[in-house]
Structure 1
Amino acid sequence: MDYYIDIRLRPDPEFPPPLLMGALFGKFHRALVALEADDIGVSFPGYSQRPRTMGETLRLHGSAAALDKLMSQDWLTGMRDHIDMTTLEEVPGSAQHRIVRRRQFKTNAERLRRRRAQRHNETLEEARSQIPDSVERKVNLPFITLRSLSTGERFCLFIEQGETHPEPVPGTFNRYGLSQGATVPWF
């Protein structure tokens, strides 16, 4: 994780930043899937819980070879008018490190009931008696709205940035550039 590339959204009167970030991140995800890459991580320098936002910059982290391989793909088609991008830059030696991970929550009791009914061969009424409304959880983390390629459904990818640490923790990243244990540089 000694190199990075910043991709910053340009202001656009027609499209709000969260919509553009969702489109950009969806393209990034598809590129990682196509490359079968597990050595590229992401961070969001403008990330904030209050106000809740991912910000307007997607920072890609990796080795020079991994980032060059990603950027040699044509994954930014359709986004180039909406972004400004830095060249491959070396991570500052004074950078801290943090885990950037996906968090999943039970946010919709009715969806959980439908799923239970289907999986346990129950009626919806039986599932309702087993799953109370109180299982729903209000989430205060920033998120990116994406569309599932397999189901076509829209979903929220909730992202949590952990505490900063002075030393990096090596590991792999999923196809969203997120990890449950590996860190990315934070500066």
Structure 2
Amino acid sequence: MDHYLDLKLLPDPEFAATQLMSALFAKLHRGLVELGSTAIGISFPDGDSAGHGFGQRLRLHGSAAALDQLLAGNWLKGMRDHVQLGELAVVPANAQHRRLRRVQVDSNPERLRRRAIKRHGLTEEQARQRIPDHAGKTTALPFIDLRSQSSGQRFRLFIAQGPLQTNPQPGTFNAYGLSHEATVPWF
């Protein structure tokens, strides 16, 4: 994690920043899947952890070779008019570190009922009694709206930012650039 690259959203009168960030993130996800990389992490240096969004920048972290390999792919196709691509740069020596991880929230009572019917052999009425409409969990975490490539269904990818740390933690990143063990530089 010695290099980084910023992708800054450009203002667009037709699309909200949240829509553009979701589109950019979906393209990055497909690029990471295609590359098969577990060595690239992400951060949102302009965002906050109080659920108010991710801001205008998506920062990619990794080695110079890993980031160059990602950029050599065609994953930014269709987004180049909406994104300002920064220069590959070295992480500042005094950077702190932070873990960004996915948090899955069972927020849809209807989906929970379908799962209970399938897994526990309940009738629809039994599932409705066991899981009332207000049973879905909520969270104030910021999220990105995505569409599953396999099922075509829309879902929210909730992202939690851990506390700042002095020392980096090694590990691998998933195809969203998130990790339960590894940290990314935070500056």
Length-normalised TM-score, structure 2:
0.96
Kept in 1, the 8 Å contact 2:40–2:173? The answer is yes
Partner of 2:14: 14
- 5+ residue gaps in structure 1? none
Q: Secondary structure at the match of 2:81?
A: helix
Aligned residues: 187
Alpha-carbon distance in 2 for matches of 1:14, 1:84: 17
Q: d(CA) in 2 for partners of 1:143 and 1:171?
A: 23
Give deviations 1:79-124, integer Å, cap 9, x for gaps. Answer: 0000101111000000000000001111112210111112223211
Moved more, 131-140 or 53-62: 131-140
Shift of 1:38: 0.4
Matches within 5 A, 1:20-99: 20-50=20-50, 52-99=52-99
Structural mapping, 1:123-142, within 5 Å: 123-142=123-142
Taking every aligned residue pair, what percent have the same amino acid on both sides? 56
CA deviations on 1:134-179 (whole Å, 9 max, x unpaired) are 5322210110000000111111000111100011000000000000
Partners of 1:151 and 1:115 lie apart in 2 by 16
Q: Residue 106 of structure 1 contacts residue 135 of structure 1 at CA under 8 Å; is this kept in 2? A: no
CA RMSD of aligned residues (A): 1.2
Conserved 8 A contact 2:49-2:160: no
CA 1:126 to 1:160, structure 2 compared with 1: closer, same or farther past 3 Å? Answer: same
1:108-127 to structure 2, matched below 5 A, reads 108-127=108-127
Partner of 2:148: 148
Distance 1:29 1:62 in 2: 15
Q: 1:164: which partner in 2? A: 164
TM-score when scaled to structure 1?
0.96
Unaligned runs of 5+ in 2: none
